[in-house]
Amino acid sequence: MTAIQVWNQHEIALASAREADARARREQRQANSTRPRRPSQHHPDEWTERAACRNHENPAAFFPNRGDWRTEQTQAVLALCRSCQVRSECLEEAVRLADDHGIRGGLSGRERRQLREARP
């Protein structure tokens, strides 16, 4: 094996190690990611202690994609959210902060926007 071939192998191994390292860092970032999160996961207010979404096993389910609104999972999340003890607090905050992303306060983002726009 020539020195150039050894060097090339070394470069390939190095690139592969860098790629694996970058992948590991990306996975770690995703694991520590702050999104998607529900109010109960990042909000210091007392009411979040009673949030139905607190410790939900799949926070991403609160952020359905456009075509997922009729799925069983999304409907279950909506039902959970609508029955939440702190729904009114959560909804008020979401409307006040113009948080129109995902399911919150028992409503979709579009419903919250409509509610906000309908207010005087």
User: By the criterion CB under 6 A, which residues form the site for ligand SF4?
Assistant: 38-40, 51-53, 80-81, 84, 86-87, 90, 104-106
CB of 21 to ligand SF4, least distance (A): 36
Half-sphere exposure of 6 (CA within 13 A, CB side): 3
Q: Using CA atoms, how far apart are residues 5 and 28, in angstroms rounded to an integer?
A: 34
Half-sphere exposure of 36 (CA within 13 A, CB side): 17
Is 22 or 76 the residue whose CB approaches ligand SF4 more closely?
A: 76
CB of 28 to ligand SF4, least distance (A): 26
CB of 115 to ligand SF4, least distance (A): 14
